[in-house]
Structures are given as structure tokens and as C-alpha cells.
């Protein structure tokens, strides 16, 4: 081998190791963050944490029951608003989306997908908070729903498009009307994929804070009234992390661990649903 | 010759003449058209699909209307003047725009080598059994909520920077304007690093799909010419997917520009333009998060709306540009949309 050839092979080997090292660095960052979450959060996860409300600032003890319930209500309500519209839009794009309106909707969905969530928050503020003269959980839910609709629409469309044409044609040939074909044959076949998309969408909005700051605001007390300000886990972490008290920081870490587990749980369920679909396809 | 107008219904011809026999296709169409269920289904879906365009139009209208007083008052200089004084009613967004761009570019500087490394390693070099696990773990980075990144930034990253990274940096490079001044913790550097970790999964996922779309014969041809494996990747695969890779990077930039919570928590939130990455800065998204609901007076609120409008317009342009580039490489498939 000439010197030049050796140098070329050494370069190749070095660069190969370099990209491997870079990959493991990225994975290492994830491991580091998860490890910190567990190390700093796990010890605070006790019965009080889940069942008690916050105590006045500076005192120790208390929990985040209000934020956990609030996250459940706001995210649930957002899903209730966002899922039908998102899935419907996705079905429209897959079934009738070849025309100009389809192109427009697809383009708009992509634009909104890239829109900063804080800007969506401004939208909810002008449409709901200002007219109603007050922050409310409902406004937060609408903002989160607006965030999830474009995401769910695009994944639903992709999943429905994966259904083989022969299936649809067979149903139509049997005299099924189009709508029943679409709902009972096509959508049902793509169901696992659609559900996955919905779960991923819910997981994404469950961790969102920015659109909630000036819509749902946050609340130190326990409430289930959706016309009132309501606390959520992400917003509570945001407030507590920046506060001066050790006790708040402790609660923030524990809340972050809970929020992260929730998001991961949804993600893992989604992956499980994908596996179901692949199983069914075989 | 004149003909009297006759009521067609009364002419015997019109009554008795058999209707033109429909072709089977036309008959099928009328049948379809009359199917109430189909029409209802289509109308319902169309109505749902119209929600998104309506949302976008409303959003844009709200932003412009809300920002109008500020637009009228300050005009274009809003984006390059840097006085932000709610009490005097003078607003210039230059520091936020600078901070947004600076933190995003700093993030790209760190994230691009990492993400491209991940994508190249996964598509070209890694053993098969490692591909799925690594891809999954890197994607998980995108699942971590922004506010959790912020929390981690405050209590782990900033102390780490303060004790281990900044002292040697300042010793070596403190004489340059980029590393001058006192380091308090919350800074452009902290914001850039947090942003970098957050956008790595996006850039990596899209780059990976772009590289996978490069035909195998590109690699084979290069290897056949006697290239080493790395040379094949660097001279045949990467250039082939260049447009898509740049698209992936710009998509990451779009994410970074609009990212709010994590940045707000670590960047320091100071209205100031400083070249030093050790100094606090401000971003547009952070300013909206901090000041929007506490705006003092109508003009301040209008200025916040205008900041939102500027941010929205910038991200739309950046994202549209990125998608255009990605589509050029992986046409037809909604590349990356799943990952995003």
C-alpha cells in the first residue's frame, strides 16, 4: 500500500469512529437527562405528592394534585375538540384531497405544524380570554387543540393512504356506499395507525407550556371548573423551577418526572399500536 | 319563419318522448349523487377540513389587527431599533430578533454535526441491530417536554457550564468579543446548548430519511471506483442528498426559532445586544411568554402582537423553504412529517 492509500484508509476509519461517537453523544444526552430526572425527582414521589394541594409558599410539604387533575382535564378537553377535527381533516385529505382545497388544507396544516406554539397561545388569548374577560382552562384546551389538529390530520392521512386500493374497490363492488366503505373498511383497517397518530399528538400537547401561560394561566388551588384558571403540570414546573424555594424545586423535579413518564407511556402505547398494525398486515 | 312560443310542457312531444337513455356510467353517477349518506359524509369531512384554513386566516388577521397600532406608530424601524421602554411607550424589537437568530444559529452550530453524525452513522455504518435502538433513543429526545429541558437547564446545565466549561473557555478565548464579560449563568450560551439538544432529533430524523432515499448504486459506484467507505459517503452519498440535508437543517432552524419555554428559562431575558455568548439575551418567543399578559397599556400589547407577527412570518418562510428543499430530494412522500 502506498502512503496515500494508507492515509485514505486511516481517514475513513477515523471518520467512521467520529460519527459513531457523535451518535453516542446524542444518546448520552438523553440518558443524562432521564437519569437526572429520576435522581432528583423519584425521592419526592409519595402519597402526599399525588393527593395534596400546594401549601403556601415557603412552607414545606404539599403536593401537586391540582396540577395533575388540571393536566388531565385540559388535555382531555383538548383531545375532545382536536381529535374529531384532526381525524376528519385527515380522512378528507385521503379521500377527497386531490383537488385544490386538498392542496390548500395540506399546505396550511404544514404551515401550522411549524408555527411556534406561543403564537397559537396569542390566538387563543384574543379569541377566548379577551372576550370572556378572564383566563380559563377552556381557552388553554382550545389552544392545545389547535396545536394538535394539523399534526393528527397529517398522520391520519398518511395512515389511510397506506390502505391498499383493492380493499376499497372490493367494498365498492359489493355495493357499499362510499361513506360506509370509507368508515367501515378503509378507516377501520387504518385504525391502529390513526390511534397511534392520536396518541403521539396527545403526548406532544401534554407537555406544552407556552400556549397555556396566558390562557389557562395556572392556579394554586384545586379546581375542576373549566371557566376558571387551572394549574397544569408543565406550567407548575415552569413556575416552581424559577421560584426561590428549595421545596418548589423539589416539587418541580418530581412533577417533571411524572410528566415525562406520562409522555413516555403514551409514546410506548403508540409504538405498541404500530406493532399491532404490522402484525395485522402480515 | 316565425314560431309561436309554446310551453314545452304542453306539447305532446315533450310529454311522450322517452327520456334519452342514460349511459350506464351516467346512471351510476346519478345513483351516487343521490346517495344521501355519501353527500352528508363528504360535506361533513369538508367542513372539518375547512377548520384549519379558517384557523390560519383568523390567526393571521388577529396578529395583524392586534399589531396595527404598533405598526402604524413605529413602522419598519420597529425591527432594527433597540429601545424597549414600556413606560415611555417606545418599542424596538432588534434585541429580541438578534437574540432569536443568535441563539438559533448557535444551536445549529452544535446540533448539525451531532445530527448529521447520527444520520450518517445509522444509515451507513452502524451494525443492523443497533439501528432501531439508537434511532428510537434519539427520537425520544424530541418527546421530552420543553419545560423539562428548561428545568434541566437551570439546575444541571448552567451549574455545569459555570464550573467546568466557562472558566477554560474564558481563559483561552476571553480576549475575543464572543467570550467577554462576566458569566452569571443565564446566557446565550446556555440557551444555544439547550436548543441544540432539542433540535438534534428533528434534524437527525429527516436527514436519515434523506440519506435512505439516496439510491444504493451511488454508494456501489463509488466503492467500485476504489473509494474507501468514508469517501463513498462523503463524495457520493452526501452530495446526492445535499438539498435534502440542507432542508433538514433549516427545518431544525425553524424549530429553534419558535422554541419558547426552555429558552425563556435559561437565556436571561435581557433587552440587550451583545456579541458575547456568556451574556444574557432575549428571544421573541421568550418576550411574548414573559410580557404578553403583563403588557402595560395598549401600545405595549400592540408591540407584543407585532413581535408575534414577526416571529410567525419568519418561521413560516423558514419552514416553507425547508420543505421545498426536502421535497426536491424525496419527492412524493411526506418525508419528515411523521418525525415532526
ipTM of the prediction: 0.92
C-alpha cell at B244: 435534502
Q: What is the tally of structural domains in chain B?
A: 1
Residues A27, B46: C-beta atoms closer than 8 Å: no
Instruction: For residue B134, give its domain range.
Output: 75-329
The answer to whether residue B157 is domain-embedded is yes
Give the separation between CA A48 and CA A51, rounded to whole angstroms: 5
> Is-contact A29 B197, C-beta < 8 A?
yes
Q: What pLDDT score was predicted for residue B25?
A: 62
Least Cα separation, residue A180 to chain B (angstroms): 8
Query: Does the CB of A262 have a partner CB in chain B at under 8 Å?
Result: no
User: For A1, how many CA atoms within 13 A lie in the half-sphere containing its CB?
Assistant: 8
> Is-contact B244 B210, C-beta < 8 A?
yes
Residue A193 has pLDDT above 90, yes or no: no
> Is-contact B199 B111, C-beta < 8 A?
yes
Neighbours of B236 (CB within 10 A): 19
Superfamily of domain A49-281 in the CATH hierarchy: MetI-like (1.10.3720.10)
Q: What pLDDT score was predicted for residue B306?
A: 95
Q: Which residue has the higher pLDDT, A59 or A264?
A: A264
Residues A116, B285: C-beta atoms closer than 8 Å: yes
The answer to whether residue B43 is domain-embedded is no
Q: Smallest Cβ distance to A203: which of B143, B228, B316? A: B143
Query: Does the CB of A89 have a partner CB in chain B at under 8 Å?
Result: yes
The answer to whether residue B10 is domain-embedded is no
The answer to whether residue B102 is domain-embedded is yes
The answer to whether residue B162 is domain-embedded is yes
Least Cα separation, residue B2 to chain A (angstroms): 48
Residues B289, A213: C-beta atoms closer than 8 Å: yes
Query: Does the CB of A207 have a partner CB in chain B at under 8 Å?
Result: yes
Instruction: Show pLDDT as tens, one digit a residue, over chain B (340 residues).
Output: 444 444 444 444 444 445 555 566 666 665 555 678 888 999 999 999 999 999 999 999 999 999 999 999 998 899 999 889 888 889 999 999 999 999 999 999 999 999 999 999 999 999 999 998 898 889 889 889 999 999 999 999 999 999 999 999 988 988 888 898 888 889 999 999 999 999 999 999 999 999 998 999 989 999 999 999 999 999 999 999 888 899 999 999 999 999 999 999 999 999 889 899 999 999 999 999 999 988 888 899 999 999 999 999 999 999 888 888 877 766 544 444 443 3
The answer to whether residue B340 is domain-embedded is no
A interface test, pick of B31, B47, B48 with most A CB neighbours within 10 Å: B48
Residue A268 vs residues A147, A154, A199, B143: alpha-carbon distances, Å = 21, 20, 10, 11
| Predicted confidence (pLDDT) per residue in A101-150, tens digit | 999 999 899 889 989 999 999 999 999 999 988 899 999 999 999 999 99
B interface test, pick of A8, A9, A11, A33 with most B CB neighbours within 10 Å: A33
Residue B244 vs residues A124, A166, B98, B220: alpha-carbon distances, Å = 35, 33, 27, 21
State the angle between helix axes of B297-329 and B242-258 in degrees (0 to 180), rounded to the nearest 10: 160
DSSP code at position B279? S
Give the separation between CA B288 and CA A214, rounded to whole angstroms: 10
Show Cβ contacts of residue B65 under 8 Å, excluding neighbours closer than 6 positions: none
DSSP code at position B292? G
Least confident of A70-74, A85-89, A190-194: A190-194
- Closest residue of B to A207, CA-based? B145
A59-71 mean pLDDT: 89
Show Cβ contacts of residue B32 under 8 Å, excluding neighbours closer than 6 positions: A178, B38
Q: What pLDDT score was predicted for residue B314?
A: 94
Query: Does the CB of A185 have a partner CB in chain B at under 8 Å?
Result: no
Show Cβ contacts of residue B288 under 8 Å, excluding neighbours closer than 6 positions: A118, A119, A121, A122, B260, B304, B307, B308, B311
Neighbours of A80 (CB within 10 A): 11
Q: What percent of chain A has pLDDT over 70?
A: 96
Q: What pLDDT score was predicted for residue B15?
A: 44
Question: What CATH number is attached to the domain comprising B193?
Answer: 1.10.3720.10
Average pLDDT, chain A: 90
Residues B228, A117: C-beta atoms closer than 8 Å: no
C-alpha cell at B339: 418525525
C-alpha cell at B39: 353527500
Average pLDDT, chain B: 86
Amino acid at each position: 500500500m502506498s502512503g496515500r492509500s494508507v492515509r485514505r484508509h486511516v481517514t475513513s476509519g477515523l471518520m467512521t469512529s467520529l460519527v459513531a461517537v457523535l451518535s453516542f453523544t446524542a444518546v448520552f444526552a438523553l440518558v443524562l437527562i432521564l437519569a437526572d430526572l429520576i435522581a432528583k425527582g423519584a425521592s419526592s414521589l409519595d402519597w402526599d405528592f399525588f393527593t395534596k394541594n400546594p401549601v403556601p409558599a415557603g412552607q414545606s410539604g404539599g403536593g401537586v394534585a391540582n396540577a395533575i387533575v388540571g393536566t388531565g382535564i385540559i388535555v382531555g378537553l383538548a383531545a375532545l375538540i382536536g381529535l374529531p377535527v384532526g381525524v376528519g381533516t385527515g380522512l378528507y385529505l385521503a379521500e377527497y384531497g386531490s383537488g385544490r382545497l386538498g392542496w390548500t388544507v395540506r399546505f396550511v396544516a404544514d404551515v401550522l405544524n411549524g408555527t411556534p406554539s406561543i403564537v397559537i397561545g396569542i390566538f387563543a388569548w384574543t379569541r377566548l380570554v379577551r372576550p370572556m374577560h378572564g383566563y380559563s382552562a377552556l381557552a388553554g384546551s382550545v389552544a392545545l387543540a389547535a396545536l394538535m389538529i394539523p399534526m393528527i390530520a397529517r398522520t391520519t392521512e398518511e395512515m389511510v393512504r397506506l390502505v391498499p386500493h383493492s380493499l376499497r374497490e372490493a367494498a365498492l363492488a359489493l355495493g357499499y356506499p362510499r361513506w360506509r366503505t370509507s368508515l367501515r373498511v378503509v378507516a377501520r383497517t387504518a385504525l391502529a395507525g390513526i390511534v397511534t397518530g392520536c396518541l403521539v399528538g396527545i403526548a406532544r400537547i401534554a407537555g406544552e407550556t407556552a400556549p397555556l401561560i396566558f390562557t389557562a394561566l395556572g392556579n394554586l388551588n384545586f379546581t375542576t371548573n373549566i371557566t376558571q384558571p387551572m394549574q397544569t403540570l408543565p406550567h407548575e414546573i415552569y413556575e416552581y423551577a424559577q421560584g426561590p424555594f428549595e421545596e418548589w424545586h423539589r416539587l418541580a423535579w418530581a412533577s417533571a418526572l411524572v410528566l415525562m413518564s406520562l409522555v413516555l407511556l403514551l409514546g410506548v402505547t403508540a409504538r405498541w399500536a404500530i406493532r399491532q398494525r404490522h402484525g395485522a398486515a402480515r | 319563419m316565425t314560431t309561436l312560443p309554446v310551453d314545452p310542457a304542453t306539447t305532446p312531444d315533450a310529454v311522450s318522448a322517452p327520456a334519452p337513455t342514460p349511459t350506464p356510467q351516467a346512471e351510476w353517477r346519478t345513483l351516487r349523487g343521490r346517495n344521501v349518506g355519501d353527500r352528508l359524509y363528504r360535506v361533513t369531512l369538508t367542513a372539518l377540513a375547512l377548520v384549519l384554513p379558517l384557523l390560519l386566516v383568523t390567526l393571521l388577521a388577529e396578529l395583524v389587527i392586534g399589531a396595527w397600532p404598533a405598526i402604524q406608530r413605529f413602522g419598519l424601524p420597529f425591527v432594527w431599533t433597540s429601545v424597549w421602554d414600556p413606560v415611555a411607550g417606545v418599542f424596538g424589537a432588534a434585541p429580541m430578533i438578534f437574540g432569536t437568530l443568535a441563539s438559533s444559529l448557535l444551536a445549529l452550530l452544535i446540533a448539525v454535526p451531532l445530527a448529521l453524525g447520527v444520520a450518517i452513522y445509522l444509515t451507513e455504518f452502524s451494525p443492523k441491530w443497533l439501528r432501531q435502538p439508537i434511532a428510537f433513543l434519539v427520537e425520544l429526545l424530541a418527546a421530552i417536554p420543553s419545560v423539562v429541558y428548561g428545568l434541566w437547564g437551570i439546575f444541571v446545565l448552567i451549574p455545569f457550564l459555570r464550573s467546568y466549561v466557562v472558566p477554560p473557555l474564558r481563559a483561552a478565548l476571553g480576549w475575543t468579543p464572543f467570550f467577554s464579560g462576566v458569566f452569571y449563568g443565564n446566557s446565550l450560551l446556555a440557551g444555544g446548548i439547550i436548543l441544540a439538544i432539542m433540535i438534534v432529533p428533528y434534524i437527525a430524523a429527516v436527514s436519515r430519511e434523506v440519506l435512505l432515499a439516496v439510491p444504493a448504486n451511488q454508494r456501489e459506484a463509488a466503492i467500485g471506483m476504489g473509494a474507501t467507505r468514508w469517501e463513498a459517503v462523503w463524495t457520493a452519498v452526501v452530495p446526492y442528498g445535499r438539498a435534502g440535508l440542507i432542508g433538514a437543517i433549516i427545518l431544525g432552524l425553524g424549530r429553534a426559532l419558535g422554541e419558547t419555554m426552555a429558552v425563556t428559562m435559561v437565556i436571561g431575558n435581557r433587552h440587550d445586544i451583545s456579541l458575547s455568548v456568556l451574556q444574557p439575551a432575549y428571544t421573541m418567543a421568550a418576550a411574548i411568554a414573559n410580557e404578553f399578559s403583563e403588557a402595560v397599556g395598549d401600545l405595549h400589547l400592540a408591540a407584543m402582537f407585532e413581535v408575534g407577527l414577526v416571529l410567525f412570518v419568519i418561521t413560516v418562510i423558514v419552514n416553507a423553504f425547508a420543505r421545498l428543499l426536502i421535497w426536491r430530494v424525496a419527492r412524493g412522500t411526506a418525508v419528515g412529517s411523521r418525525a415532526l
